[in-house]
Structure formats: structure tokens, C-alpha cells
Amino acid sequence: MASTGASSTNCKVILANTIAKKLLSEVQEGLSKLQGPPLLVGFLASSDPAARVYADWTGKTCRENGFAFELREVPKDAMEDALLAANADPSVHGIIVYYPIFSSRQDQYLQQIVSISKDVEGLSHRYIFNMYQNIRFLDPGTDTKKSILPCTPLAVIKILEHLHVYNTILPYGNRLFGHTVTVINRSEVVGRPLAALLANDGACVYSVDVEGVQQFHRGQGLKKSRHEVEEKPGWTLENCLPVSDVVISGVPGEKFKVPVELLREGAVCINFSSEKNFTPEVKEKASIYVPAIGKVTIVVLLRNLLRMVQNRADTDATPADAIDKPGTIEEKPSA
């Protein structure tokens, strides 16, 4: 007989390492079919210690898992030329840039000059456009080359798939139909892309930040091909959390805590902040709790790199031809 009240013993804590191992085995299988290890080049021009830690972590993970990695430390003013040179270098299979560099729109410009055939973070315009438009392939009609998605939002999706929140009985693209999700964070880097991806997969998503709440959805009965956004004036977490079966939080401040008393009984809770957004009491309400996702994110980065190599295998275009032109939106990437 099921218990009528939740207790910490009824909450399953899932560590990122468990999920990362499964993903890594898939990556290793794909890697074994290549002639040599793909080379990922990281570009570091920042004195930010967090950027240095991430660069070191990337290199360590690459080398431990059969990928080549090279860190290039470049002065800020030389970054543009360095990226263009890497675009044109056939020995470079993927590029990752450790931001911030200028902490301004110039960083956005640098994101756009990385060749889409080497942009493992999925930050170039074509990939972002595809993600929001729910265009999943780079070759619509043929559907052999999946578009690249940003690593952290994709890591959250892979976690939800692992937890079987995605319903595989439903058609691909609709597998979150019936789920209500709250995402606490609406940054352009993680929160908003994540809300869009989840809504494009069929969920009703409440996107929450300090400015208020927005609802991302594909309409009643998923009649729309991609998500739309609706403002929810006056809404707060008090409106969102009690109706959400999945709660995902990534507030980068140690003072913020998700109000556990508002959580729906048995909710799935995922923390993607470097801070602990959930207090230990979350285990008294949640059915599943994932306290961190970093190790999944880094494996997703390797997965993206592998996919880029696979996408380029039968493509005649040179990396220079594939550079996404800033300000254009003719080409569409995927979600």
C-alpha cells in the first residue's frame, strides 16, 4: 500500500555522475567508429577563475575519454583573429570559448564568428534560431543531421529523459505533453532556452525570474508547431509551484531558496545552479531530486563535438563556407 505522506526515504536522490556514465557510453560507441580522436580547442582570454576551472575540467574530461584538447590562451584583442584561424584549420573539430571576455555585446559578436561546423556550445545564430523555431535538423526533409543545442539546457533534457519524465510512448517531439514545469531562471544562456526546449517538446512551462512569470506552451492539444510565450501578470512562485510536477532551478545566488512548502507532492526537482537552490527539506516533498548537473553538461559537450564530426563527415562545404553570418536568419537550426 502506498504511503499517504512523503518522507525523505521516499525521495530518490539521483547524482549527475550516474546519468553522465550512461551518456558517456553512447559517446564512446560513436567515438570508436572514427579514425582518430576529434580535437576540441578552448580559447581563454579571461582572468575569471571560474573560466579557468571550467577550461581545466573540460581538458581533463576530454583526455580521459579519448578526445584531444588544446587550450589556447589569447589576449582579448587577438580573439577574433584566433577564432577565424581555428575556423579555417581542418585539424580543429570543435571550438569552445570561455566567456566572459569583454562582458559586452562584443562577446555576442565573437559567438557569431565561430563556424557553425565547430560551435560545440550551440551559441551561433543559426543554432539559436533553430532552437526557438523548433527546427530540429540542419537538413530539413532529409533529417540526418541534428542541430546542435546549448550544453546546459540539453543536459537538463537528458536528465529528464533518464528519469523517464519524457514519455516514449508519445511521438518524438511531443513527449512532455501533459507535464507542467517551472523553470526558475530566465537567462539568455540557460533559463529561456531551456523553457523553449521543454515547451517545444510539449510541456506547459512557467518561466520565472525577478521580473515575473511567463508561460511557454504550444497551445491546447499541441496544435502549434513551436512554442509561444504568454505573460502572466501578477503571477509568482505561489501560482506555479503547486501545479508543477517538475521544478528546475538555477538562480546564481546563495540567498535564494525554492520555497519547499509550495512544492507539489512528488515533484521532480533539479538544481542547475552552482549554489544550492533547494534546502535539504526538498527530500520531504520531492519524489526525485537531482542536486547538480555539471558532469552531465560536460558529457553533453563531448556529445556535441562527436555530432559535429558526424555531421561534417559527408559534407563537402569547407569550414569557411559554414561560418554563420552575423545578422542573418535565413538558415534555421534545431531544437
Active site residues: 151
Residue type, 305: L
Integer angstrom CA distances of residue 212 from 93, 190, 215, 306: 41, 17, 10, 38
Is there a contact between 308 and 121 (Cβ–Cβ < 8 Å)? no
Residue type, 299: V
Give 287's contacts (C-beta < 8 A, 6+ positions apart).
6, 10, 11, 12, 266, 267, 268
DSSP SS3 for 167 = coil
Give 185's contacts (C-beta < 8 A, 6+ positions apart).
191, 194, 208, 209, 249, 250, 251, 272, 273
Cell (9 digits) for 190: 540557460
Integer angstrom CA distances of residue 292 from 15, 17, 83, 152: 7, 9, 31, 11
DSSP SS3 for 41 = strand
Cell (9 digits) for 44: 581563454
Cell (9 digits) for 31: 567515438
Q: What are phi and psi of 250, to 5 degrees?
A: -145, 50
Is there a contact between 230 and 199 (Cβ–Cβ < 8 Å)? no
Q: What is the DSSP secondary structure assignment for residue 268, as one 8-state letter? A: E
Burial class, 122, CB count within 10 angstroms (exposed 0-12 / middle 13-18 / buried 19+): buried
Using alpha carbons, select from 262, 261, 252, 240 the residue that is nearest to residue 181.
240
